[in-house]
Amino acid sequence: MEKKLVLVLLDACRTDYISEQNTPFLYKLKEDNRYYKSLIPGFGFCERTEILVGKKPLDSGYFTAFGRSVEESPYNKLRIPFEILGKIETFFSSVFFSKLIRRIIWEIMKNKNGTYYPFRIPLKKLSNFSLTEDGPLNLINTSQDSLYKIASRVFKEASTSLDSKLSGSDEDRLNLIVEKINESYDFYPTYVSTLDAIGHNEGPNSRAIQNGLKEIDAKLKVFYNKLQIMKNPPVVVFCGDHGMSQITYVMNIEREIFRIFKDKSLLNHFDMFLDSTMARFWFDKQIFNEIKKLKDLLESKFKDKGFFLFQNQYKDYGIPESNLYGDCIWICNDGVLISPDYFSPANKKINGMHGYQPLSPQHYGFAIFAGHNIQRKHFNKPMPLISIYKDIKNFLLDFKDVNK
């Protein structure tokens, strides 16, 4: 009988969400199993690499989902057509046109290795950017340290990445695992997105989150019980990868940047990428006056809402010292949101966000290892998110020996 492990990644499920009231199944399950109460993610947006490869951002080189790399961009040979489309987009200034042209681009290009949906990235700049964590050379698929390499055979149809379309609902993916659990795989990574979506839209402390937690918990109970009545029930790992903060202030960096671009004729030789919690800048020519003007603008306009970092300061904050992520970065303080950014328009109300420096418990995740023969052990002190990598790796290595 083959040994198997199912990893259920509960996106944005904070450690304090696990309670007798909101998640009675998970709360009870943790009592007699292996439980990591507080897992601290790295700074940024690349938690899957931490879990699946066991490397923090400084070791993996991954910090945000996108980096500036013309050579690795899937759109790098289409610079001129995209510049033309960008001018047309600016001329029409139509939300419908922007969405339509991006959908067409995606449908044409989606099968090319490393391609990503264009989101709201300006079309004239699209050929400058590439995926990092989900790029063609990503560590999850290529590193010998990856759980995908350590496992004998990985079932990937219930997982997620930015270079592919997420299939089905959370319930569909959980049901798919139950359906496929007796096939010849030993590792089943599974993605559950509900709490992340609710947290962004309604806020991480909202009534909607409480209702979502109860619904997800009930579905996970059914899912787990179906697996446990199998002849050879798998080890199941439930992992919340990070938490989320309530949005308290929204800043429009894009408007201010364009203002000095028009009024001062500055910033003529730069790129920027607007993530929700940071703005990253690249200068093709290191013009001190322009960089200083940008820094002074942000610090005077937004004062206590964040701070400015140069590349030689990145390591102090756990950020890879790489040109992928900018010559300088504006970092938002906890609860401050950049809107619009390159993913969401200004008219979309966002009440919760992650990707901040993980300095307080609302950013922490958790993990429960459950199943037959799992020894009870609780880790109550905060630990790095990468801590669970070694446990999963050891299970998969043991399974390899047993399954020979």
Q: What is the pLDDT of residues 94-120, one digit of tens each?
A: 888 899 999 999 999 998 888 999 999
CB 3 within 8 Å of CB 232: yes
Give the confidence band of 122 by pLDDT, cuts at 50, 70, 90: very high
Architecture of the structural domain at 248-350: 2-Layer Sandwich (3.30)
User: Which residues make beta-bridge pairs with 363?
Assistant: none
Q: Do domains 5-52+140-246+358-403 and 248-350 have the same CATH topology?
A: no
Contacts of 401 (CB under 8 A, 6+ apart): none
- Report the distance separating Cα 73 and Cα 39, nearest Å: 33
Asked if pLDDT for residue 381 goes beyond 80, the answer is: yes
Asked if pLDDT for residue 262 goes beyond 90, the answer is: no
Contacts of 8 (CB under 8 A, 6+ apart): 174, 190, 192, 220, 223, 236, 237, 238, 239
Nearest residue to 59 (alpha-carbon basis) of 67, 48, 68, 50: 50
Is it true that domain 5-52+140-246+358-403 has CATH number 3.30.230.10?
A: no
Q: Tell me the backbone φ, ψ of residue 141, rounded to 5 degrees.
A: -95, -20
Domain range annotation of the chain? 5-52+140-246+358-403, 68-131, 248-350
- The two counts, helices (H) then strands (E), for the chain are 13, 17
**One-letter amino acid for residue 8 of the chain:** V
pTM: 0.94
pLDDT of residue 263: 64
> What is the overall mean pLDDT for the chain?
92
Structure tokens at 119: 């989101």
CB atoms within 10 A of CB 86: 16
Give the confidence band of 142 by pLDDT, cuts at 50, 70, 90: very high
- Report the distance separating Cα 231 and Cα 114, nearest Å: 40
